[in-house]
Structure 1
Amino acid sequence: MLNDDDLHRYARQIIMPEIDEQGQQTLAAAKVLVIGAGGLGAPVILYLAAAGIGQLTILDDDKVALTDLNRQIIYAMPDIGAGKARQAASAATNLNPVITPTYIDARLNPDNAETLIKAHDIIVDCSDNPDTRQLVGRTCHHMQRPLVFGGAVQLEGQISVFQSGLDGHADAPCFCCVFPAMPDARQAPRCSQVGILGPVTGIIGAMQALETIKLCLGLGTNLTGKLVLFDGRDMRMMEIATAKNPHCPCCGIQPLHNED
């Protein structure tokens, strides 16, 4: 049950007929794992905490650096050198002491991926390297967990939702259908290599938070089967339909045969 302070804190959400008190209680019961507390993770964590996601787990093994502060708005100068996961959890608690943020000072790896992802209702991928993204995508498919993916570099961003493996989504593509593993990491450059303008991560991160809240509540339609591309240079968005790959090594049912 929501107490008087909860009703006051979340008043602007609860007044919406699509949410109301029952929806707010649903958010309070939700378990969300945020992988990466950087440029995308910072706005995701703040907005999910503000919305009242009750159990928020933050996973990151990095430390705050001066070069992070142009976009990772959850941190400030005194945080330089501190662990990102812990500082992000502290910021979430300062914003909303009602929720229960948990921080894990570690990187997602094959040893902990299944346990962590299975323990949560929704996974938000805010990581910044192809190997982690592939691991998240495969594990979410096999553990039957919704995945909210985002990416940003320079003045461009992208966002999608993946629900392959879940009931009712037999035809939905998995992450690996849309983003096959690439042998050359240069095809997916990192911000440290090519740069990033902070507001771009803010836009994509806010959209990831919105899609996460919508999934929690079953609100509206989501980006399953769609990939939204954002061009900040010309302020344009384009939506692309995505499809299941029958030969996908993660979710495909028709193995690809090599011809001699």
Structure 2
Amino acid sequence: MARRLLLRRSPWAAGDRAAHVVAAQEAPLSRHRRREVRVRRPALAQQSEDPASAGRDCRGQSRAQTDQLFSGRLGMSDLPARYDRNIRLFGEEGQSKLRATNVAVIGVGGLGSPLVQHLALLGVSGITPVDDEELDETNRNRFVGARHDDPVPGSPKVELAARLVHEIDPTIRVTPVRASLISEEVFATVKQADWVFGCFDEDGPRAILNELCAAYAKSYIDLASDVPEEGVYGGRICVAWQGGGCLHCLDALDPRDVEAYLSTDAEKAGRAAIYGVPVEVVRETGPSVSPINGVAAALAATEFMVAVTGMREPQRLINYYGHVPKLTTAKPKPDCYYCKGIRGKPQDADAERFLRMPHLRERRRKQTR
């Protein structure tokens, strides 16, 4: 489960020797630092150095007018003015790529709901939120978009996510899917998406979605937050993109949790009779708070943004150590079976075999954070 996910390979206290601290030596960012700003805009003639023309471009227009011109307010762009600040970072081409991208968010809880918000603000074309649960009272501390008067029971999480998106941008196409991962409907959703995000609380569903996305060559970002022990907390994201990096080759899965999830009740009972009751059976639901979830969601949205717009390649694994605090990254293995062996080969992978496992269809354990 997510409880062990971040500690098994890279202990929080000691850190991971294979990883490195991101931007540890760089000067801190500040809104008040004087810096050169380079915006991806159509080329203009060089501005005059005449003091009388300060604040105006080569055509005598004020900077405010020029800003309006490039943000689409004066009609030169088909993109809405709401994307002005986005365009200043990654250009109109980048924004157009986002506007042509459809995403699926599997698990719309404390991790998935802030992620949906970020994706809507970035301006993607369509969002498919997937979850089979309703809001409950214990979700209210971290579910972005839930209102104090949303009824419990009676508020499906996917409907709350759809409302959140349309309150941000009603032009985004939202297709709520109220179903669990192990269903034909969700498998079809994954196959139709350009990017897939997984926001689970267990490694079993993570492993299944990782394999499904590899089989159909889908870009996949998995999110996790974790409070494994008192005073230790953080999160991580894993990016499976273009056949380089996944949950398996980045050692982001606990094989014991995956095995337990895929096992039948009879198989579990047999192991328990020999080895005793496993820890995951008696483990209670742990802490989950909005700020920590929000960091993981923001990291996932950022790596998605830079990959789609072409700003840079996404980092394949980012660990967030909130109690230190620091960020670390790691590199994937070059010979991963999922990244290299079955990527884009759905018949070889046969990920649909999970749909043929009745015990997975019947399981209704909590899977999302």
What TM-score, normalized by structure 2, do the two folds share?
A: 0.59
From 155, 162, 173, give the equivalent of 1:100.
173
Bigger radius of gyration among the two: 2
From 208, 212, 237, give the equivalent of 1:159.
237
1:216-243 C-alpha deviation (Å, 9 max, x unpaired): 222212123xx22111122122222231
> Aligned in 2, Cα 1:252/1:56: closer, same or farther, shift over 3 Å?
closer
1:61-87 C-alpha deviation (Å, 9 max, x unpaired): 111111112222221222233000011
**Number of residue-to-residue matches in the alignment:** 240
What is the one-letter code of the residue matched to 1:158?
R
1:111-156 C-alpha deviation (Å, 9 max, x unpaired): 3454221201111111222222111100010000111111002222
1:14-59 C-alpha deviation (Å, 9 max, x unpaired): 123xx22222221111111111111111111001101110111111
1:170-215 C-alpha deviation (Å, 9 max, x unpaired): xx243233325423567889x9622123210000011111112222
Alignment match, 1:257: none
Alignment match, 1:213: 305
Alignment match, 1:61: 132
Alignment match, 2:142: 71
> Aligned in 2, Cα 1:198/1:215: closer, same or farther, shift over 3 Å?
same
From 150, 164, 169, give the equivalent of 2:223.
150
Q: Secondary structure at the match of 1:138?
A: helix
What is the one-letter code of the residue matched to 2:199?
C
From 85, 107, 129, give the equivalent of 1:12.
85
Relative contact order, higher structure (CA 8 A, sep 6+): 2
* Identity, % of aligned positions: 24
> Aligned in 2, Cα 1:97/1:188: closer, same or farther, shift over 3 Å?
farther
Corresponding position: 1:243 with 2:333? yes
What TM-score, normalized by structure 1, do the two folds share?
A: 0.82
Give the alignment's Cα RMSD to 1 decimal. 2.6
From 37, 41, 48, give the equivalent of 2:112.
41
Q: Secondary structure at the match of 1:195?
A: coil
Alignment match, 2:361: none
Q: Is the contact made by 2:177 and 2:186 (CA closer than 8 Å) also made in structure 1? A: no
Could you tell me which runs of 5 or more consecutive residues in structure 1 were left unpaired when the two chains were aligned.
Answer: 254-260
> Aligned in 2, Cα 1:28/1:244: closer, same or farther, shift over 3 Å?
same
Q: Is the contact made by 1:62 and 1:84 (CA closer than 8 Å) also made in structure 2? A: yes
Alignment match, 1:140: 213
Cα distance in structure 2, aligned partners of 1:188 and 1:134:
17
Alignment match, 1:231: 321
Cα distance in structure 2, aligned partners of 1:83 and 1:234:
36
Cα distance in structure 2, aligned partners of 1:27 and 1:43:
18
Greater mean alpha carbon deviation, residues 60-69 or residues 235-244:
235-244
Cα distance in structure 1, aligned partners of 2:254 and 2:286:
22
Q: Secondary structure at the match of 1:160?
A: strand
Cα distance in structure 1, aligned partners of 2:205 and 2:102:
21
